[in-house]
């Protein structure tokens, strides 16, 4: 048998096992291409054999890989390898490559009981910080629990496994099957337990369960089976943490009860609001027991547990055949009292059922618009369709967002809308462009006006000597990226530099030149040459220029220069 280390995709070396969970095994690894330590999560066979799961897993891992935040364990890569069994059969092995984090799982920190309030607040705030970032990116975790949270030696909270829960739940047919895969239902939101669609507020509920466990050392609901726990999430009110740990401030109770509301619309609506309320618990005013009771009644109804106990007691009394009557029949007052109690009980149960159905219908009929800003349109479309929303694309110019990426949506991110509503997605086409106006050959004033009218900026103006053009005539136009021609498409706001004619030429000193040579020089400059005899000096066999009527230097174009020639 070969002792060579296993390589995934010919790149990732698999080293020792460092963790094992219900869905996967985690190994220390090494990226041989980028020369860095990584963590490799290899999914178990019962998940790997599901083709639907593999597809969903790859898409969700790609979404998670785009998130870069100090409170989130980075996902570097995801892929699929193959493994051959002893009998020669081959099966797929999906894997993800993650940042290797050194630290302690939060579930190990709370294994021995609750932690101090300040630590519980700090750990939960770190989780909410990660959720605040991921929710803005349109990614819902769906499986927040202490086993998915790492605390580094420096105290930094790191949340992991973004996207895996959705891949599992979308590939599982029942809540029981999903629960078996994820390992526990203790941190499920009520809407997850009922198999309904979820949004970011499901993560906030799970974060509230983690906060409860950090404060008390136990989750708010416990049972013999996951289904029993899921039922409690849906129908029972949690005991306030201060009734379990007496020295806890009641201000913490208020935050926990709000986070664990059954109705998502009664919870904190985003992670930022949860964090703000959590930060205020250590310094804010504590509510009274009466105020906490009113909050409990608002969020969970008039003591549903007591109502259930009353109904159970009535059933037991009606079925008890061992009780003996001490009189011929009950007094009439007792009969009417019993009828009244039963009537009130029936009305209460009916009201609870109608309210629950109405709340469920309302939750099913609404969605929260995800934040898809700066994403590609295809990714934004996928997220919106995943929330049962329709996208209508509108192209707009934008100076900061790359072409093809989303600028904004209407309604904006975070808005609650109805299922199936059309969301207008504004997609950048890049900077606004304009055709370069035709200015070559025009005068300077007209050129400046044409540039400004087109939404461009006039840059530097350089004068150039040209023997054929009058002063102020535009010779050429250019920008930083090269010469511009008429009809070239350039970005609005581009600076255009001009070269214009000076209306002059440089005249050299032609003294001593022969008349023919001097004449050729003047004609090359577009100047007119004329000669004049000077009888005051002695003529030579080959006439030469004695003096010029115009001094050397810059002279206006098309000027006449008289050459003085000796004729004495």
Q: Could you report the per-residue pLDDT of 376-433, keeping only the tens digit for each?
A: 888 888 888 888 888 999 998 887 787 888 989 998 888 888 888 899 999 988 877 8
Is-same-fold flag (104-300; 368-428)? no
**CA–CA dist 356, 362 (Å, integer):** 10
Task: Find the mean pLDDT for residues 256-273.
Answer: 93
Q: 158 pLDDT band (50/70/90 cuts)?
A: very high
Give the CATH superfamily of 104-300. Transferase(Phosphotransferase) domain 1 (1.10.510.10)
Percent of the chain beyond pLDDT 90?
Answer: 28
Enter the tokens of residue 239.
């005991």
Residue 374 pLDDT? 83
**CA–CA dist 127, 159 (Å, integer):** 7
In this predicted structure, the answer to whether residue 291 has a pLDDT above a threshold of 70 is no
Nearest to 527 by CA among 512, 507, 501: 507
- Active-site residue (options: 143, 270, 398, 466): 143
Alpha-carbon torsion 113, 119, 122, 126, what sign?
negative
Residue 364 pLDDT? 56
| CATH number for the domain formed by residue range(s) 433-502 | 3.30.10.20
pTM flag (> 0.75)? no
Using DSSP's 3-state secondary structure scheme, residue 553 falls into strand
Q: Of residues 201 and 375, which shows the higher confidence score?
A: 201
Enter the tokens of residue 46.
């019962």
**How many DSSP H helices and E strands does the chain contain?**
17, 25
CATH class belonging to 505-566: alpha beta
Which three-class secondary structure string do you get for 208-260?
HHHHHHHHHCCCCCCCCCHHHHHHHHHHCCCCCHHHCCCCCCHHHHHHHHHHC
Q: Does domain 368-428 fall into CATH 3.30.10.20?
A: yes
Q: 129 pLDDT band (50/70/90 cuts)?
A: very high
6-8 and 12-20 as β-strands: parallel, antiparallel, unpaired?
Answer: antiparallel
Contacts for 395 with CB less than 8 Å, ≥ 6 apart: 426, 427, 428, 429
Q: 182 pLDDT band (50/70/90 cuts)?
A: very low
Alpha-carbon torsion 54, 60, 61, 62, what sign?
positive
Residue 315 pLDDT? 40
The residue behind tokens 């027991």 is 289
Which segments of 266-351 are extended strands (E)? Answer: none
* Other C-beta atoms lying within 10 Å of the C-beta of residue 94: 22
Nearest to 254 by CA among 223, 229, 280, 272: 280
Q: Tell me, rounded to whole angstroms, the distance of Cα 262 from its chain centroid.
A: 27
Alpha-carbon torsion 145, 161, 172, 197, what sign?
positive
Residues 308-365 pLDDT 10s: 443 443 344 334 444 333 334 444 455 655 666 676 677 766 666 666 655 555 545 7
Q: Check: CB of residue 392 under 8 Å from CB of residue 385.
A: no
Domains in the chain: boundaries: 6-99, 104-300, 368-428, 433-502, 505-566
Enter the tokens of residue 356.
């629950």
Q: Is 143 a catalytic residue?
A: yes
Nearest to 394 by CA among 374, 372, 410: 410
Q: Check: CB of residue 116 under 8 Å from CB of residue 266.
A: no
Q: Of residues 522 and 362, which shows the higher confidence score?
A: 522
Cis peptide leading into 327, omega within 30 of 0? no
User: Which residues face 410 on adjacent strands?
Assistant: 424
366-368 and 416-418 as β-strands: parallel, antiparallel, unpaired?
Answer: antiparallel
398: left (phi over 0), alpha (psi -120 to 50) or beta: beta
CATH fold for domain 6-99: Phosphorylase Kinase; domain 1 (3.30.200)
Using DSSP's 3-state secondary structure scheme, residue 31 falls into strand
**CA–CA dist 528, 235 (Å, integer):** 106
Q: 307 pLDDT band (50/70/90 cuts)?
A: very low
């Amino acid at each position: 048998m070969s002792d060579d280390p296993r390589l995934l995709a010919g790149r990732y070396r698999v080293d020792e096992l460092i963790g094992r969970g219900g869905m996967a095994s985690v190994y220390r690894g090494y990226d041989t291409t980028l020369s860095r330590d990584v963590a490799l999560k290899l999914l178990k066979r019962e998940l790997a054999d599901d083709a639907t799961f593999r597809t969903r897993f790859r898409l969700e891992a790609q979404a998670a890989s785009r998130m870069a935040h100090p409170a989130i364990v980075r996902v570097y890569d995801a892929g699929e390898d193959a493994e051959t069994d002893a009998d020669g059969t081959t099966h797929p092995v999906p894997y993800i490559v993650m940042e290797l984090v050194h630290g302690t799982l939060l579930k190990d920190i709370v294994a021995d009981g609750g932690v101090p309030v300040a630590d519980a607040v700090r750990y939960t705030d770190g989780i909410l910080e990660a959720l605040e970032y991921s929710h803005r990116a349109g990614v819902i975790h769906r499986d927040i629990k202490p086993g998915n949270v790492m605390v580094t030696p420096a105290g930094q909270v790191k949340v992991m496994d973004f996207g895996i829960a959705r891949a599992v739940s979308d590939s599982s047919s029942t809540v029981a099957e999903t629960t078996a895969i994820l390992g526990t239902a203790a941190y499920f939101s009520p809407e997850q337990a009922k198999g309904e669609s979820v949004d970011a507020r499901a993560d906030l509920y799970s974060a509230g369960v983690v906060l409860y466990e950090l404060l008390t050392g136990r989750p708010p609901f416990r049972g013999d089976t996951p289904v029993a726990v899921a039922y409690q999430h849906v129908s029972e009110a949690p005991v306030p943490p201060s009734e379990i740990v007496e020295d806890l401030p009641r201000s913490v109770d208020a935050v926990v009860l709000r986070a664990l509301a059954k109705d998502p619309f009664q919870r904190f609506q985003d992670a930022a609001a949860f964090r703000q309320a959590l930060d205020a618990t250590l310094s804010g005013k504590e509510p009274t027991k009466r105020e906490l009771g009113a909050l409990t009644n608002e969020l969970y109804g008039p003591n549903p547990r007591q109502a259930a106990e009353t109904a159970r007691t009535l059933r037991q009394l009606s079925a008890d055949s061992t009780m003996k009557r001490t009189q011929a029949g009950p007094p009439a007052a007792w009969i009417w009292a019993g009828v009244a109690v039963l009537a009130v009980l029936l009305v209460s149960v009916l009201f609870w059922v109608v309210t629950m159905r109405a709340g469920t219908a309302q939750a099913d009929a609404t969605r929260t618009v995800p934040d898809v800003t700066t994403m590609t349109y295809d990714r934004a479309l996928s997220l919106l369709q995943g929330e049962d929303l329709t996208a209508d694309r509108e192209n707009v110019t934008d100076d900061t967002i790359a072409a093809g990426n989303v600028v904004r949506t209407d309604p904006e991110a975070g808005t609650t809308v109805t299922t199936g509503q059309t969301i207008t997605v504004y997609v950048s086409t890049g900077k606004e462009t304009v055709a370069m106006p035709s200015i070559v050959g025009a005068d300077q004033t007209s050129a400046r006006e044409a540039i400004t009218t087109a939404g461009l900026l006039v840059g530097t103006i350089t004068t150039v000597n040209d023997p054929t053009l009058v002063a102020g005539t535009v010779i050429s136009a250019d920008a930083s990226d090269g010469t511009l021609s008429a009809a070239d498409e350039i970005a609005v706001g581009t600076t255009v530099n001009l070269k214009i004619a000076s209306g002059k030429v440089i005249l050299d000193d032609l003294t001593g030149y022969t008349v023919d040579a001097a004449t050729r020089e003047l004609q090359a400059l577009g100047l007119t040459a004329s000669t004049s005899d000077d009888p005051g000096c002695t003529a030579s066999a080959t006439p030469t220029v004695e003096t010029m009527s115009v001094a050397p230097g810059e002279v206006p174009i098309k000027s006449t220069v008289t050459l003085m020639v000796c004729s004495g």
